[in-house]
Amino acid sequence: MLKLKNVSKFYYNKGQVTSGFSKLNLELNIGEFVVITGESGSGKSTLLNVISGLDTYEEGEIYINGEETSYYSETDFEEYRKKYIANIFQNFNLINSYTVYQNIELMYILNNMNDNTVKDKIMSLLEQVGLTKYKNTKVSKLSGGQKQRVAIARALAKDTPIIVADEPTGNLDSKSAKEIIKLLYEISKDKLVVIVTHNYDQVEEYATRKIRMHDGKILEDTVINKVKSTKYDEKEYGNPKFKDKIKLSFRNTFNIIPKFLLLLLVYLLLSLSVMGEYTSTLKSNYDGDKFGINEFFSNTDDTRIIIKKKDGSTINATDYDYLNNLKYVNRIVKEDVLLDASMGLSNENDFYINGYISLLEDFNGNLDAGRMPENDNEVVVYTWEDYYNYNKKGFFEQELNMTESTTGKDMLDYKIKIVGIKFLEENDYNSKIYVNDNMLKDISKNINSSRSKVIVDINGKKFGDEEHYNYINVYPNSKIDKGKAIVPDTMSYYCKNYNCKNNNMNIKTVNIYYSDDIDLSISNTFNKNNFEKLTGIKEYDRYSDAIFVNDEDYYSMYDKEPYQSSIFIKDVKKLKEVIKELDNNGYTTLHVKDALVDYTEELRVFVNLFKAIGILIVLVAMFFISYFVIKIILKSRNIYYSTVRILGASKKDVKMLISTELNIVLDIAYLIIVVLSILVVNDIVKWKYLKDLVTYLRIYDYIILYLILFAMSYLISRKYSKHLFKKSAMSTYREV
Ligand code: ADP
Ligand code: MG
């Protein structure tokens, strides 16, 4: 059956070579009960390990059923071990965290013999070794003798032709030792048993052959009982089924609770830090988007949505009721145009403050100086403290104009006064001018007018439209009668008989929200001489080409309920939801941030490249940190994995067991984080760090994150397996 010809085994250790045994010649056959004795260090264990295919040999040739093995690969030896060898060790090599039953079941699983008869088989084996009532006891709780019985039952589970036992009684008292040897003898009919012992007396009555070793050589080889060499009918053993490997992985994940908790902790931290890295990238991309510059909108808050009615009508009280009750809406700014219009407050000389218009009712906090407004023409400002300090004298109560900052156009035909100030808070750069409702209406109609195009039509001759490209100014004036207009003398050219008086005129105003028009009759024409008399204005040269109409007529075109408002939502994440809801209810929407023009596209490519490298470095660092921690935690598992290997599992199977075990822990850790995220989002659990993270995550981000973590975990298990298999199963085992 087994034949060794001049076989030598050397150990290489830190440059030193020691000999396990040298130039052994030996032939072993089925039916023999071979006892090997010899003093410690004489090479007995080395011989058994080589015979078992657990260790390699360096010289000579071993024949298995006449077949040479010197060219055997690792998998060939795995096959050989599966088919032929069952090992019993001095220190049992059981899985201490498994029950007796599970230890034996493991053997069936690893050799793909785990069918529905297994339960009965295990029970009859347990009966055979007298351990029926310890079926569900953890192996760690058994005595030495009982442990060795489990090991024997396990060896028997795989019905191999060769049983190799290295000092099976070495750790047992003499009574148990006797019983174990007897048991071994009983099960060994038609098998080759090779047993190493210090105590030959114990085995004497069963031995058919006695081999004595000394210093790596065989000193004595005595056949006591000649046995008839029988032939063994070979069985095939497969590899574990997929579902059994999953079952084992689950068992391994949870059977040592402290190890499980440690791994869970590592994976929780890994998940959170990868999540943090991921969201900080999302966030900076997102912030980067906000750098886009836009010509129309000054207020580019990412929670701002501009709305209009789809039918083009004004937004009325019913609309505001609806909008106010909308989920996720934080606040509504009815006079939307104000958000993007910055105004200047100035006197004729040196005083100038710039700010956005806000409603007094939105003013919160306390004034730092002055008082709250009492009249329609009084405002409160929110601006730099320094500015106030330099202009203290005359800051309040002086008469100021309000002009649009970009165009310099007057917004009000009356003077206003600042009566109170609140100082800008730190990190706030947006000054504000707080006005009351009436002033707001005046400002907004002026904004409407300044953003509208005016087309004047006299007798079918048009001024100010695209075709003619000529430019016309229309001004409100209280000295003009209602329904009337005055035009410059120079326009006579376009009038009937060169006389404009009593000609009809139509003024049309067009802006992005609506168009409106009024019909007027020309009451007079003006020139340098009568201009001041007609209008009350001195500067003729400045207005020599303008048309003047009654101010009420004029403002009837601009004093409109808003056609456009802005809403601010509570949470950018709900943007799509809100927009969809609005769309279904008759509003067109514009998310300001999405309307931004990005001038930094090309620059961004480089920024992203550097960012990607940065992320990669962080991920690699986290990978190695996790790997080293997990390696330390799994060190206590080395013995498990090498035992599984010794029992006949292939490298591939063990790799899968490791990666599945780690993956189960990862899944649990990730599930915990997902559940926590849900709780945090719904404010059931308060955890600011996580809340900040998950604000930026959508479902597909969670999937991407999982895939990243999965890949990391898989690579960790690969690296660990590689480390584990650098050495043979036996040397890993020995190390432990
Ligand atoms: P026995 O089992 O008879 O006590 P071993 O087979 O364990 O003896 O050892 C035989 C020889 O091989 C001894 O000289 C021992 O020092 C050496 N040896 C055994 N295992 C190793 C090893 N892993 N590395 C180096 N030398 C070893
Ligand atoms: Mg030994």
Please report the atom of ligand 1 found closest to the CA of residue 18: 26
Q: Whose CA is nearest to atom 1 of ligand 1?
A: 41
Question: Please, which pLDDT band fits residue 295 given cuts at 50, 70 and 90?
Answer: very low
Is the model's pTM score more than 0.85?
no
pLDDT digits (tens, 9 = 90+) for 148-181: 999 999 988 888 899 999 999 888 888 888 888 9
Residue 723 Cα to ligand 2 middle (Å): 26
Residue 43 Cα to ligand 1 middle (Å): 6
pLDDT digits (tens, 9 = 90+) for 197-229: 988 998 999 999 999 999 999 999 999 988 877
Question: What span, in angstroms and rounded, lies between the C-alpha atoms of 402 and 407?
Answer: 12
| pLDDT reading at 9 higher than 90 | yes
Residue 26 Cα to ligand 1 middle (Å): 19
| pLDDT reading at 238 higher than 90 | no
Between 348 and 293, the more confident residue is 348
Secondary structure percentages of the chain, helix, strand, coil, to 5: 45, 25, 35
Spell out where 215-340 has E strands. Answer: 217-223, 304-309, 329-333
* Range in 187-191, 427-431, 464-468, 651-655 with the lowest mean pLDDT: 464-468
| pLDDT reading at 102 higher than 70 | yes
Residue 131 Cα to ligand 2 middle (Å): 28
pLDDT digits (tens, 9 = 90+) for 625-634: 999 999 999 8
Q: Which ligand is nearest to the CA of 18?
A: 1
pLDDT digits (tens, 9 = 90+) for 110-156: 988 888 899 999 999 999 888 999 999 999 999 988 999 999 999 88
Please report the atom of ligand 1 found closest to the CA of residue 167: 2
Q: Whose CA is nearest to atom 24 of ligand 1?
A: 11
Residue 46 Cα to ligand 1 middle (Å): 6
Structure token digits, residue 250 = 């689950």
Mutate to test the pocket of ligand 1, among 18, 197, 217 (most ligand atoms within 8 A of CB): 18
Q: Is-contact 627 620, C-beta < 8 A?
A: no
Q: Which ligand is nearest to the CA of 46?
A: 1
Structure token digits, residue 337 = 């145009």
Residues with CB under 6 A from ligand 1: 11, 13, 18, 20, 38, 40-46, 734
Cα-based angle 446, 452, 453 (whole degrees, multiple of 5): 140
Residue 167 Cα to ligand 2 middle (Å): 7
User: How much of the chain, in percent, has pLDDT values that exceed 90?
Assistant: 46
Specify the pairing of strand 162-166 against strand 85-88: parallel
> For the residues of 669-688, what is the DSSP string, one character each?
HHHHHHHHHHHHHTTSS--H
Domains and CATH numbers, the chain: 2-238 (3.40.50.300), 243-289+601-735 (no CATH), 304-334+562-595 (3.30.70), 336-449 (no CATH), 453-556 (no CATH)
Q: Whose CA is nearest to atom 5 of ligand 1?
A: 43
| pLDDT reading at 618 higher than 90 | no
Please report the atom of ligand 1 found closest to the CA of residue 196: 2
Identify the CA nearest to 725 among candidates 661, 649, 663, 660. Answer: 649
* Range in 93-97, 228-232, 355-359, 651-655 with the lowest mean pLDDT: 228-232
Mutate to test the pocket of ligand 1, among 14, 22, 45 (most ligand atoms within 8 A of CB): 45
Q: Please state, rounded to an integer, the average pLDDT across all residues of the chain.
A: 87
Structure token digits, residue 443 = 């400002």
